[in-house]
């Protein structure tokens, strides 16, 4: 893969968004992520998965110029073009939704920017930890777009409908402290320790992990951290 790196350390998978410095999500990224998820569906031996970005940032989100160009290059028939766009977005939602439905714990380790579809990816994870430098947002409205991969419903589920509407309409960014206050992340740790903290957290989770007990695991483990 060109846009993603994947390794396994002691049963914990490390999925790294690997297009530094911003780790933007290109069309190739979405294709490779879908292929990797299909491999995860049949992979044996993983007990947890940690998702992070290469270098200073988690991800700046979708490369919108490329994405819009791709969508505009479809069928000249309006109905067919809308169907193609819908199919593309639904494929990406299904890819990201896999992480939410996963039977092993999935943890986002976030430093730097986490914007747009990158935040949407993180919201599908079971746990989210970030560095003090993290910057979040759903800026799609500033491009006359709406979040298309579950961002609004993800924020609403965790932080409430009002917050989801605010972020989707205003497109404003917010820092780690606000993310913690709204429950969008569970802990802020020093930025150089985010990935190691997430890896250690993953290793501390029980082998018979059940995602519906995620809040209980979080409370118990963080109390002893």
Residues contacting 50, CB < 8 A, separation 6+: 12, 13, 14, 15, 107, 108, 109, 195, 198, 199, 202
Which pLDDT value is given to residue 49?
A: 98
174: β partners: 136
- In angstroms, the CA 130 to CA 1 distance is 26
For residue 30, give both structure tokens. 């979405």
Whether domain 4-223 has CATH 3.10.20.30: the reply is: no
Which pLDDT value is given to residue 47?
A: 95
- In angstroms, the CA 214 to CA 198 distance is 14
State pTM to two decimals.
Answer: 0.93
For residue 14, give both structure tokens. 């490390």
Residue with tokens 């890819």: 95
Which pLDDT value is given to residue 69?
A: 77
pLDDT in tens, the chain (225 residues): 999 999 999 999 999 999 999 999 999 999 999 999 999 999 999 999 999 999 999 999 998 888 777 767 766 777 776 777 788 889 999 999 999 999 999 999 999 999 999 999 999 999 999 999 999 999 998 888 888 899 999 999 999 999 999 999 999 999 999 999 999 999 999 999 999 999 999 999 999 999 999 999 999 888 876
């Amino acid at each position: 893969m060109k846009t993603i790196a994947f390794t396994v350390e002691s049963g914990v998978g490390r999925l790294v968004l690997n297009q530094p410095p911003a780790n933007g999500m290109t069309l190739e990224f979405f294709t490779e992520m879908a292929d990797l998820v299909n491999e995860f569906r049949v992979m044996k031996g993983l007990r947890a998965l940690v998702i992070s970005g290469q270098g200073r940032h988690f991800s700046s989100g979708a490369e919108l110029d490329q994405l819009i160009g791709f969508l505009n290059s479809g069928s000249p028939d309006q109905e067919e073009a809308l169907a193609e766009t819908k199919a593309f977005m639904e494929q990406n939602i299904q890819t990201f939704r896999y992480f939410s439905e996963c039977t092993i714990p999935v943890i986002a380790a976030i430093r730097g920017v986490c914007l747009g579809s990158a935040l949407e990816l993180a919201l599908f994870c079971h746990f989210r930890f970030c560095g003090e430098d993290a910057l979040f947002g759903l800026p799609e409205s500033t491009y006359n777009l709406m979040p298309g991969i579950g961002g609004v419903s993800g924020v609403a589920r965790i932080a409430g409908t009002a917050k989801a509407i605010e972020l989707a309409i205003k497109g404003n960014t917010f820092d780690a402290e606000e993310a913690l206050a709204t429950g969008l992340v569970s802990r802020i740790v020093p930025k150089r320790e985010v990935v190691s903290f997430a890896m250690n957290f993953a290793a501390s989770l029980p082998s018979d992990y059940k995602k519906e007990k995620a809040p209980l695991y979080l409370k118990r483990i963080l109390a002893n951290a």
